[in-house]
Amino acid sequence: MGIIEKMRLDGKAIYVTGGASGIGKSVATALAEAGADVAIVDINLEGAEAVAKEIADATGSKTIAIRCDVTNQEDVEAMVAEVAGTYGKLDACFNNAGICLNVPAEEMTFEQWNKVININLNGVFLCATAAGRVMLKQGYGSIINTASMSGHIVNVPQPQCAYNASKAGVSMLTKSLAIEWAKKGVRVNCISPGYIGTDLTLNSEALKPLIEQWNAMAPMGRLGRPEELQSIVVYLAGDTSSFTTGSDIIVDGAFTCF
């Protein structure tokens, strides 16, 4: 069997949070194209259902759509139980849901701070530990979290202290879980994307001036594309990454190199 065949995900059951749009939708599509059955998880159930149908029609994947608020422990536990119950197992997950608020620190309310931390960091903790409990019982599994280059550098010119702190937290949470579960068959990794041009980003009038500045600073002179993250997650979800755990894979076009 060649490496391409070994990288396929046939028969694997995987959920993706934030799967109704952007990076989540793109990665969910790639996972299904690689043969996995994918649960599209999002707080926007209508959007999740539309993506699940689109992916199923295009790939034949056994998709389901689940509404879940990743900051609500009961929601998360029910979501993981539904995925494992539907497919009979949980091979991998992509904990990707997140938000960003660009607010100067001295003006940021505690409510705004908590909103970002709750979704970006607490949500990853809830999803990763709920999935981890299932995987630990199985004796195997791969957990993939979305961190950010913002956990490695302070982005400019936009003020986003809560986002940066939350993503640095995701990276260290990932490493901590990887160490705890390394001998128990459960791998935990994260990806740290740079600026990615999703439909939401590219269609935002408010972000256009920022995008121009980001591109001017970027070594490659452009934003990344969601599909440029697909192969990393497919790799981490599959068996060829069996010795990869505790990694924070930066995919940023060299933005953090200076």
Q: How confident is residue 207, by pLDDT bands cut at 50, 70 and 90?
A: confident
Q: Residue 192: CB partners within 8 Å, gap ≥ 6?
A: 147, 148, 149, 151, 152, 167, 171, 248, 249, 250, 251, 252
Q: Residue 110: CB partners within 8 Å, gap ≥ 6?
A: none
Active site residue 163: yes
Average pLDDT of the chain to the nearest whole number = 97
The pLDDT of residue 258:
82
Q: Compute the distance between CA of residue 21 and CA of residue 160 in angstroms, rounded to an integer.
A: 22
Mean pLDDT of 136-163: 97
Question: Which residue is catalytic, options 142, 150, 167, 195?
Answer: 167
Is residue 201 pLDDT above 90, yes or no?
Answer: no
Q: Name which of 123, 124, 127 is nearest 80 in CA terms.
A: 127
**Does residue 157 have a cis peptide bond before it, meaning omega lies within 30 degrees of 0?**
yes
CATH number of 3-247: 3.40.50.720
For 14-68, what is each residue's pLDDT tens digit? 999 999 999 999 999 999 999 999 999 999 999 999 999 999 999 999 999 999 9
CB 121, CB 148: distance < 8 Å: no
CB 134, CB 141: distance < 8 Å: yes
Active site residue 195: no
Q: What are phi and psi of 19, to 5 degrees?
A: -80, -5
Is residue 205 pLDDT above 90, yes or no?
Answer: no
Output the pTM of the full model.
0.97
Q: Compute the distance between CA of residue 41 and CA of residue 52 in angstroms, rounded to an integer.
A: 9
Question: Which residue is catalytic, options 15, 87, 163, 195?
Answer: 163
Q: Name which of 154, 143, 138 is nearest 176 in CA terms.
A: 143
The pLDDT of residue 75:
98
CB 14, CB 93: distance < 8 Å: yes
Q: Compute the distance between CA of residue 63 and CA of residue 47 in angstroms, rounded to an integer.
A: 13
Q: How confident is residue 199, by pLDDT bands cut at 50, 70 and 90?
A: confident
Active site residue 150: no
Q: Compute the distance between CA of residue 85 and CA of residue 245 in angstroms, rounded to an integer.
A: 26
Is residue 233 pLDDT above 90, yes or no?
Answer: yes
Question: Which residue is catalytic, options 21, 61, 148, 192?
Answer: 148
Widest CA span in the chain: 58
